[in-house]
Amino acid sequence: MASNNQDLPEATVQNVLEQDTLKWVFVGGKGGVGKTTCSSILGILLSQFRSSVLIISTDPAHNLSDAFQQRFTKSPTLVNGFSNLYAMEIDPTVEKEDSVSSDGMDDFLSDLTNAIPGIDEAMSFAEMLKLVQTMDYSVIVFDTAPTGHTLRLLQFPSTLEKGLAKVMSLKSRFGGVLSQMTRLLGVDEEFGEAAILGKLEGMKDIIEEVNRQFKDPDLTTFVCVCIPEFLSLYETERLVQELAKFEIDTHNIIINQVIFDEEVVESKLLKARMRMQQKYLDQFYMLYDDFNITKLPLLPQEVCGVEALKEFSHHFVTPYQPSLARGSVEELQNRVAALKEQLKDAEAELEKVQKGKQKI
């Protein structure tokens, strides 16, 4: 196995950090595998290489504020302790207050959005990308929602293009009817058909440009985050297949919450988990032998706050090495000490129980 490892791609995210042409970095995977922690750390690491970095959370259940222990909003906010790292949390859904106040326009738009599934989210996403593109960040990291939502997010450019094509064909076939409808609804001319079509047409260019950028491996890459379990392996495979279908580059997988052999003392539960994990780790290496696979250790505590994120970040650039080698003198001494401690605790507990029985 060791000799095979020589041929494997580097087991870090260094390739992403050093690819200075990248403009968009998506981070995605199943819910609860540590995507937000990985996005935050990638943002921190990229800020050492780039002039300005923006992390955007598109997950409706935002965790970015929790990871950095700082409140973020839908406007980019400088992360405490940094001069070039910003974060923002957005919901990829249309916000009512942003739409035109006329009731007729709202009715018309809601009919339009019902006719084309997903176009409301897509329009909101397009508005957000328009905003982001004017901000001129060196690189943008997307902390995405769980897999299903992520794939919808990546479909938005094509959803909008299909929607626009549909609206344009409607215009050519029912142009006069649309004008009559807007007049019947009592909509002012400025909020009528022309305004709606103008708004959609205005997005066409930006959507085509973003679609082109997302499919360019020099500009966009997708980092898959997972844990060594069956459902996560299955979800990662689904994600990789879908990304290939969308022609979106992906060559990095981060496997989180790995239990390393040398860390295990004498817990049957941990040993069983470790054996199960190893089975799926082997499958990951078999399926993605041309990917950069980064393994992160399972920690006894959560990674929260800038200092904890910075400390954990070195595992992203240096393959994790357990502190002690199995069977070494030091490791055996540690195990003996731990067992003595367990014995002492058990004896104290036994004594307490015996005293309690005597009282009864």
Please give the annotated binding residues for ATP, written as ranges: 30-37, 229, 256
Catalytic residue list contains 59: yes
Q: How far is CA 256 from CA 42, 58, 59, 226, 358, in A?
A: 14, 21, 19, 6, 50
SS3 assignment, position 142: strand
Long-range interactions of 310-314: CB distance < 8 A, separation 24+: 310/44, 312/37, 312/41, 313/41, 313/44, 313/45
Q: For tokens 């609860």, name the residue.
A: 32
- Which residues on neighbouring strands pair with residue 26, listed in sequence order? 142, 222
Check residue 305 and give left, alpha or beta (phi > 0: left; psi -120 to 50: alpha).
Answer: left
**Residue set of the binding site:** 30-37, 229, 256
Q: Cα separation of 26 and 151, whole Å?
A: 11
Active-site residue, selected from the candidate residues 59, 120, 143, 249: 59
Helix axes 119-135, 147-184, angle to 10 degrees: 100
Tokens of 291: 């990917």
DSSP letter assigned to residue 144: P
Q: Cα separation of 305 and 309, whole Å?
A: 6
Report the catalytic residues.
59
